[in-house]
Structures are given as structure tokens and as C-alpha cells.
Structure 1
Amino acid sequence: MSIASTAQEITLPLWPAGKVPNYQKTNETEKSDTTDIVRISKVQNPEIAVFIPSKKSATGQAVVICPGGGYGILAYNWEGTDIAKWFNSKGITAIVLKYRLPNSKSNIVPDKSPLMDAQRAIRLVRANADKWNIKMNRVGIMGFSAGGHLASTAGTHFDNGNAGAADPIDRLSSRPDFMILMYPVITMSKPTMHSGSRNNLIGQNASSEQAKFYSAELNVTKETPPTFLAHATDDNGVPVENSLMFYQALKDHGIPAEMHLYPKGGHGFGLALGIPETESWTDRCIDWMRSLNK
């Protein structure tokens, strides 16, 4: 464990040393490009960066944040640490997930690693709930673009934990208590799918069963958590229909959902600073999160 100079950020490995599942040692090394935003690729050691607000202002809520990047890179600060710091200002503990990407040679089965890491992150947060001033039933997940796909997959494929697991963390539930999906990739089906995310995750020749598993709109059940969605209509990267499809599936199953569609913002607007039509999404999101505590 390392503690940053602010004493408010804690970095933890997701898995015990030498016990990362679905991992094989290769000559790959993690890469980071900091040209304009921090872009991380070839993740070898998945981890979480935990941003903890003051105990006095803590709401008890926590959000695991999955940065986007088409399953090829992670937009680590733009859709990760910047978001976490904003959450902290609202008394919410934020956990930025540095998850493994399927295009790394270090994966044994490429598509399995991101979901494994997301599920583990939720369990790890619950395991540290008391230490981080979190309530165990207020742990959600958030994702942007392909990170939104990962978040929606975690929200539609989860378990209650393995009571007989040797690792006590694996005994905890991986079900998020809520989801926040920002311009998310949802479906793996034409014509609405984002082909880059699909190809990076499951490949062009994926089976129909694999495509169905990773199409979140087809996996909603009555156990799917409440969801907040935000998307720009002029998104030319991930069509707004992805959010519309998921909202409809939630509605059909009686899952509480709130969706905000904005006329402008394009794709990848992050906090949407300086985009007047869209930047109020943060206020709407906090209002919605507060309503969950009532």
C-alpha cells in the first residue's frame, strides 16, 4: 500500500501478489502517454486509487470509476481521477479502477480480465468499508464509454460472493448498489454497437453467445441496480441509442432509472466543463445519488 502526499489518496493492488487470475507473465510493460490527458495501456498490475473525503463530510456512498478508452487504453485522469476529485468535493468516496485491457498479451482469455477486475474492485471496497467511512450497501459503479460498458456488465453479471472462499474478500457480493453510465457502450449488435470496443473486447468473429453476454440490454433482470444515464445526442462515437436501449430494458424490468440526453457534448465530454448545454449533468447526478439515500 502506498499513500500519496495528500494523505487522501490510497493506492491498492486489486489482487495479492502473484495471484492475479487470468494472467500470464510476458515481456509486456505498462505504458502511459501524458500528451494532453493520461492514457494508460497494457496494464499489468490492476489496482485501485481510493480518494477519501473528510470523515465529517462523508455521505457513506462510494463509486468505483471505470475510465473509458475503447478497451484499448484508459483515459485515466479525464474519466478517472478528475471525476474522483469532484466526487470527493461532494462527500463521496471515489475509487478509480485501473483495469486490465483485453488487447494485452498477458491475458489468458482476453475478454475476461476487465470484468474480473471490476467485480474484485467492488468486493475490495466493501471489505474496506469501515476504514473508508463507507456503508456497504451504498457502493456503486460508474463508467465512461467503454468503461460504461464494463460498469453495465458488472451491473448485469454479478454474484453474492463465495462463502467458502479462502480469501475473505471473495466472500463479499460483487453486485453494485447503483450504476452511473456516461455515454456508455451497451450493445454488441449492429447497427448501434461501437465496433472498436467490440473488436477489442471480443473480436470480429465472436460467437453469438459471447455477443449476447456482453450486450447489457439483453441481460437486465429484476436484480439489476438503479441506474443513472447521461448521453449527448450529437455523439458520433457511441450512438445515443446505446443509452436508449438500456433505459428501455431497465423500464421493462421495473428498475428505477434516470436518463439525461443533451443536444451537444459529442463523445467523451467528461465533466463537460465549458459545454453549457451539458455541464449540468454533474448536478443532476448528485441529486440522483442523494435520492438513493432516502
Structure 2
Amino acid sequence: MTPVSRLLALLLLVATPALAGESPFAPGHELISIWPGAAPGGEHATAKEEVVERAKGPADLRDRIVKGVTRPTLTVFRPQHPNGLALLMAPGGGYAWVVMDKEGYETAERLAASGVTVFVMTYRLPQEGWAAGPDAPLQDAQRALRLIRYRAAEFAVDPHRVGVIGFSAGGHVAGMLTLAFDRPVYAPLDAADQVSARPDVSILVYPVATMDAAFAHQGSRRNLLGEAPASDQVRAYSLEALARPDAPPVMLVHALDDASVPPENSLGLLAALRAAKVPVEAHFFQEGAHGFGLRFAVGKPVAAWPDLVLAWLKRGGLLD
């Protein structure tokens, strides 16, 4: 290989995100690396990636979490009949880990059955030494959405119908992407980084929204900002403080008996979005607790939430 050929090969490697092939955790689904090489700012990162199964026995539903994410990925759930809508999905985990089955793969399969192409994301955790600190998850989310939009044709996706959905702390990741999509948190790497990271729609399910100590999920707040964050940091990562008129339409889903992430997280964000004149719909259920996803919603009124989301997307012209 000539020096010029080697240079071209190196440029191609840097510019093209690696396909990791089939997901080892979701057989039959593609696994894509969000970053073309190592994730940025990892020189002093302490993360050691590990997948842990929390199910107690073979009769239990799978309940895998990813700790110490070092290589953020997207697991692609392609529908049999794609309708052009894509959703980047951010599972929760209190910024301590990423919950893959309960708040990832199960809901991805449900949405894919309705024609949505879903990209389940693992994202880096801010307390593990990444140079960007609390912006590390936002780096991953911005890059992921840009990548989906840039490669939309490969996935039979409309680049103008690329949204985000997040659960719990993943709702904070999704909310930051929704309201800080243009925050300059990493240096552009390639052509994918020239497209917008603004989602076309945002769905936040029992989201961690505020960093105000009165209503914050304390574990997420501590893992994101540390033990005693300054007031300007609290404001910079509180979604209600970031509401802006050019945000995409937002849907909020929350149970009023949520003892982990108080419903005031969604109520405060709802008020802020309305004040900013952002199109918003909200559904609050009397019971459902926290982390209901699909499996813990069965038999309860909160089980209606996926159908409510799909109906809202249809009314907005985002879903056929």
C-alpha cells in the first residue's frame, strides 16, 4: 500500500462510524458505534464496561444493565414496514448505569411493531472521569442523533422525522438533547457532525428533569453534578430552566405516585414549556410508581402510555 493509499484508508476509518455487527445482547439487531474511534475526552476515564444481569432466576424477565460505558453504541430495531419515523432511545439508570431490557429493548420492539425505527443508545456516565463531565452523555446523544439523520437513507428514515425518547435519567439525557441540541460540547469530527442535532419530536417518560434539590432525583443529581453543585450548574442542567421557543414538540408521561422521581419534575417542565410556547402534551397517571416501562404497567391505566404516544405522533403528522 502506498503512503497516499494508507492516508486515504486512515481518513476513511476516521470519517466512517464503525459497524460492530450484530448486537450480542439483542440478536438479530445491528450494533453501531456512535463514535468512529474512542469516545472523546477519555484520557483519564475510569470506566470499565460491564454487562450485569439483575434477574434473580431463569423464570424472571431479563433485566440487564450496562455499567462503565466506554464505547457508546446504538442497537437498531428496524420495523418490518418502516414509516419513516426514527426515535433515538435513552434508557434510564440514575446516571450510574444504563438499563437495557426494561427501558430499552422491550419498548423498542413495541414501537418497531408500529413502524418506528428505534435506536437504543448506551451513553457514557458523567462521574467516571470523562473530560466533558456532565456533558459526556449529551456528547453521545448529539452525535447519535446526527448520525441517524446523516445516515437516514440507510435506515429508510425521513431525516426530518428523527426524534428522541428517554426514561428516568435517560429522560434527562433526552431532555438535554431536546433543549440543548446546539450546545457546543464536542469538536466536529466528520460530515455527520455538520447536520443538526435538534430532534423533531421528544418523548420524556418519568424524566429526571430538574436539578433543584427540592425535587431532584438525588442519585442522578449527585452522579451528574457531584455532591454540592454551584447554582449556575444546577440551572445549566435543569430542563425547566432551558425551555426555549424553538424546541421540538414534547410529550411528558409520569405517574403521580412516583416516589423516586417526583412528578414535580414533569409538572415544572410542563409549565416552562408552555411559557415558552412549545407544543406539549402531558399524561399524568394516578398510579404507576417509577420505572414502569412496559412490564410493570400491565393491568394498570398507565399501560396505555405507548398507545397515547403513538396517537400523539400520528396527530402531529410524524407517524403514518
Whether 2:55 is the aligned partner of 1:31: answer no
The answer as to whether partners of 2:46 and 2:128 remain within 8 angstroms in 1 is: no
Q: Which of 275, 278, 283 is the aligned partner of 2:302?
A: 278
The answer as to whether partners of 1:66 and 1:147 remain within 8 angstroms in 2 is: yes
Q: Which of 89, 92, 105 is the aligned partner of 1:81?
A: 105
Higher helix share: 2
CA offset at residue 250 of structure 1? 1.0
Superposed CA RMSD in Å reads: 2.1
* Paired position in structure 2 for 1:128: 151
Residues 123-170 of structure 1: CA deviation (Å, up to 9, x unaligned): 0100110110111111111111111011111111012999x9550011
Give the Cα–Cα distance (whole angstroms) in 2 for the partners of residues 62 and 96 of structure 1. 11
The answer as to whether partners of 2:53 and 2:64 remain within 8 angstroms in 1 is: yes
Letter in 2 for 1:22: G
Query: What is the TM-score with the length of structure 1 in the denominator?
Result: 0.93
Letter in 1 for 2:270: Y
Q: Within 5 A, what are the aligned runs for 1:46-61? A: 46-54=72-80, 57-61=81-85
The answer as to whether partners of 1:22 and 1:112 remain within 8 angstroms in 2 is: no
Change (3 A) 1:161 1:210: closer
CA offset at residue 210 of structure 1? 1.2
Q: Which of 40, 46, 50 is the aligned partner of 1:21?
A: 40
Give the Cα–Cα distance (whole angstroms) in 1 for the partners of residues 54 and 270 of structure 2. 36
CA offset at residue 109 of structure 1? 3.4
Whether 2:272 is the aligned partner of 1:256: answer no
User: Matched residue of 1:181: which SS?
Assistant: strand
Q: Within 5 A, what are the aligned runs for 1:131-146? A: 131-146=154-169
Change (3 A) 1:187 1:4: closer
Greater mean deviation of Cα atoms: 9-18 or 120-129? 9-18
Query: What is the TM-score with the length of structure 2 in the denominator?
Result: 0.86
Q: Within 5 A, what are the aligned runs for 1:96-111? A: 96-105=120-129, 107-111=130-134
Q: Which of 89, 93, 96 is the aligned partner of 1:69?
A: 93
Which entry has the higher C-alpha Rg, 1 or 2? 2
Change (3 A) 1:166 1:276: closer
Change (3 A) 1:293 1:7: farther
Structure 1 moving runs of 4+ over 4 Å: 4-8, 25-28
The answer as to whether partners of 2:171 and 2:208 remain within 8 angstroms in 1 is: yes
**Fraction of identical pairs, as percent:** 35
Give the Cα–Cα distance (whole angstroms) in 1 for the partners of residues 41 and 120 of structure 2. 21
User: Matched residue of 1:278: which SS?
Assistant: helix
